Amino acid sequence: MKLEHVAFNVTAPVEAAAWYVKNLDMEMVWKRDDAPFTHFLADESGQMTLEFYNNPPDQVPNYAEMNPLLLHVAFVSNDPTRDKEKLIAAGATLVSDDNVNGLHLVMLRDPWGLPLQLCKRAMPVLRKR
């Protein structure tokens, strides 16, 4: 088996999906224009998607109050410093920026509080296909 998607119940799925498409080079692959406003976004490999939706509206986790080590969405970045600056300019907030032993990890929060991590590893964890 392989992963298909990871889903997030968020307050503003339409806006969040648009932000991820614009700022993280994701591609909209399917969306629903009525409640629960489900949006599936594919990464550049087309092998993994994120789902944003709002259902039930009264049970959206408080991502902004959650320790980002409990939950975060990690993206491979060839230049975490450049990507960090781009995302901050687009409304993300910086949590941490660590560069140790060939591992550069930048933790941010998207404009709705969901933690994002930018990863540049000396030894990548993903296999090339």
Cα 86 to Cα 20, 35, 80, 81, 95: the distances in Å are 12, 31, 10, 9, 15
pLDDT of residue 128: 66
Per residue in 20-39, pLDDT (tens digit) is: 999 999 999 999 999 999 99
Range 53-80 average pLDDT: 96
> Where residue 50 falls among pLDDT bands split at 50, 70, 90?
very high
Give the residue from 41, 64, 77, 42 showing the smallest Cα distance to 114: 64
Token readout for 3 is 């992963």
CATH number for domain 1-59, candidates 3.40.50.170, 3.30.70.2190, 3.60.15.10, 3.10.180.10 = 3.10.180.10
Whose CA is closest to 30, among 20, 47, 17, 15? 17
Q: Give 61-129's CATH code, choosing from 3.40.50.450, 3.60.150.10, 3.90.1150.10, 3.10.180.10.
A: 3.10.180.10
| Cβ atoms of residues 83 and 106 within 8 Å | yes
